[in-house]
C-alpha cells in the first residue's frame, strides 16, 4: 500500500488589523468603553438567566425576573 499522507503546510492568517489600524482603534475612547461595558453586560445576562431559571423552577419572582430582562435589554 502506498502511503497517502500528504504534508500539510499551515498558513498563518493575516493579522486582523494593520499596525496603523490597531493604533487608531486603541487610541479611541470607545475601546475603553467597550472594555468596561462588555463584562457588565455579561454579568447582567448571567443574573437575568439565573432569575429566569429560578422563576421557571419555582414560579416565584416574576416581577424581578421581568425587571432583569428589561435591564438586560437596555444594556
Domain ranges for the chain, please list them.
46-75
Q: Can you give the pTM of this predicted structure?
A: 0.62
Query: What does the pLDDT look like over 32-63, one tens digit per residue?
Result: 888 899 999 999 999 999 999 999 999 999 99
Is residue 18 classed exposed, middle or buried when 0-12, 13-18 and 19+ CB atoms within 10 A define those classes?
exposed
7 vs 55: which has the higher pLDDT: 55
Cell of 44: 447582567
Distance between alpha carbon 18 and the CA centroid of its chain, in Å? 23
Amino acid at each position: 500500500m502506498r502511503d497517502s499522507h500528504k504534508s500539510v503546510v499551515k498558513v498563518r492568517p493575516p493579522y486582523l488589523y494593520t499596525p496603523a489600524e490597531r493604533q487608531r482603534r486603541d487610541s479611541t475612547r470607545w475601546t475603553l468603553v467597550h472594555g468596561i461595558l462588555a463584562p457588565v453586560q455579561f454579568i447582567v445576562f448571567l443574573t437575568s438567566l439565573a432569575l429566569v431559571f429560578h422563576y421557571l423552577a419555582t414560579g416565584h419572582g416574576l416581577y424581578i425576573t421581568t425587571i432583569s430582562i428589561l435591564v438586560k435589554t437596555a444594556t
